[in-house]
Structure 1
Amino acid sequence: MRRLLDALYDGAAWLAALCMVALLVAVLLSIIGRQLHFNIPGIDAYAGYLMAGAGFLALAHTLKRGEHIRVTLLINALRGGARRGLELWSLGLATLLATLFAFYSCRLVWQSHSFHDISTSNDATPLWIPQLAMAVGTVVFALAFVDELVRELRGERAQAASGEALRNE
């Protein structure tokens, strides 16, 4: 099961990377089009869709790598049962919120498909298509939080060391 979940998180990250590459191509095409006086209808909208897709598809992988922003001031001050209790409460709440986010993202895709909702830009793209990346990304993100919660309950979750000292931007 661990290998399957890790492959799922890595697969979503690869899709996010492909979205980023496609975003680069879309932006370059837009720039070249302006310079050479030709227009590709909807290219700006597609760049936006790709940017959103990259962000949502990368959520779970980022979480599993410990790169999400965490406020560790309180949790680092706690030890033992209090720390574990706060971790469980935080992961439980995050799991609930991520699950709701995934549910409503999937519901939005379904509604856009049912209502034949299309983009208001000149490309008239059915909106459920770009929204699908958001729905998939949020579902995988919710699964990653469930995974983290279960690992914490089983005592298998490694405590994330604060990397603030390593990052001196």
Structure 2
Amino acid sequence: MRVFLDKLYNAAGYAAAFFMVGTLLMVVAGIADRVLALGWRGTDMYAGYAMAACGFLALAHTLKRGEHIRVSLILQAVSVRSRRKLEIWSLFAASILAGAFAFYSIKLAYQSWEFHDISTGNDATPLWIPQIAMGVGAIVLFIAFIDEFVLELRGRRAAGNADDAPHNE
């Protein structure tokens, strides 16, 4: 199961990278269209869709790498036992919130499909198509939070030290 979950998080990370490149290509295409009057429609919208897909698909991979922003001031001020309780509580709460986020993201995409909702831009893209990436990213994030919660309960979570200095790479 661990191998499958790690591959899932990595696949979501690779998909996010793919959409990041897609964002770049759509921005370049939009610039080329403005300069050369090529008549390409919707490049700005597609750049936005790709950027949203990149952001949502990267959430779980970023979480599992320990790169999400953490507020550690409270964790530094409490005992190790209290720190673990806070970690368990926060992972439980995050799992609930991520689950609700995943549910409503999928519901949004389904409703967009059901009502034939299209974008207001000149591309007239059915909105359920770009919303799928948001739903998939939210589902994988939900799975990642459940994974972290279970690992913390079992005492196997490799959490960063609350005393670690922030880093920028």
One-letter amino acid matched to 2:10: D
| C-alpha deviation, 1:139, in angstroms | 0.3
Q: Is the 8 A contact 2:16 2:58 kept in 1?
A: yes
What is residue 52 of structure 2 aligned with on the other side?
52
- Unaligned runs of 5+ residues in structure 1 are none
| C-alpha deviation, 1:82, in angstroms | 0.9
Q: Is the 8 A contact 1:30 1:39 kept in 2?
A: no
| C-alpha deviation, 1:33, in angstroms | 1.1
| C-alpha deviation, 1:166, in angstroms | 3.8
With over 3 angstroms needed to count, the CA separation of the structure-2 counterparts of 1:116 and 1:7, relative to structure 1, is: same
Take 2:161 and 2:80, find their aligned partners in 1: how far apart are those partners? 16
What is residue 75 of structure 1 aligned with on the other side?
75
**Secondary structure of 1:34's aligned partner:** helix
Q: How many residues align?
A: 168
What is residue 29 of structure 1 aligned with on the other side?
29
Alignment of 1:1-169 (within 5 A): 1-162=1-162, 163-167=164-168
Runs of 4+ residues over 3 Å off in structure 1: none
Take 1:39 and 1:13, find their aligned partners in 2: how far apart are those partners? 33
One-letter amino acid matched to 1:73: L
**Secondary structure of 1:106's aligned partner:** helix
| C-alpha deviation, 1:123, in angstroms | 1.1
Q: Is the 8 A contact 2:66 2:159 kept in 1?
A: no
Q: Is the 8 A contact 2:26 2:46 kept in 1?
A: yes
With over 3 angstroms needed to count, the CA separation of the structure-2 counterparts of 1:152 and 1:115, relative to structure 1, is: same
Take 1:28 and 1:124, find their aligned partners in 2: how far apart are those partners? 21
**Secondary structure of 1:53's aligned partner:** helix
Take 1:64 and 1:165, find their aligned partners in 2: how far apart are those partners? 17
| C-alpha deviation, 1:159, in angstroms | 2.5
Take 1:166 and 1:17, find their aligned partners in 2: how far apart are those partners? 22
One-letter amino acid matched to 1:164: A
Q: Is the 8 A contact 2:53 2:134 kept in 1?
A: yes
Indicate the percent of aligned positions where both proteins have the same amino acid.
56
Take 1:94 and 1:119, find their aligned partners in 2: how far apart are those partners? 31
With over 3 angstroms needed to count, the CA separation of the structure-2 counterparts of 1:44 and 1:68, relative to structure 1, is: same
Cα-Cα RMSD: 1.3
1:44-90 residue CA offsets vs partner (Å, 9 max, x unmatched):
10000000000000000000001101000111222232111111111
| C-alpha deviation, 1:36, in angstroms | 1.0
**Secondary structure of 1:58's aligned partner:** helix
Q: TM-score, normalised by structure 2?
A: 0.95
| C-alpha deviation, 1:91, in angstroms | 0.5
Q: Is the 8 A contact 1:57 1:137 kept in 2?
A: yes
| C-alpha deviation, 1:165, in angstroms | 4.8
**Secondary structure of 1:164's aligned partner:** coil
- Unaligned runs of 5+ residues in structure 2 are none
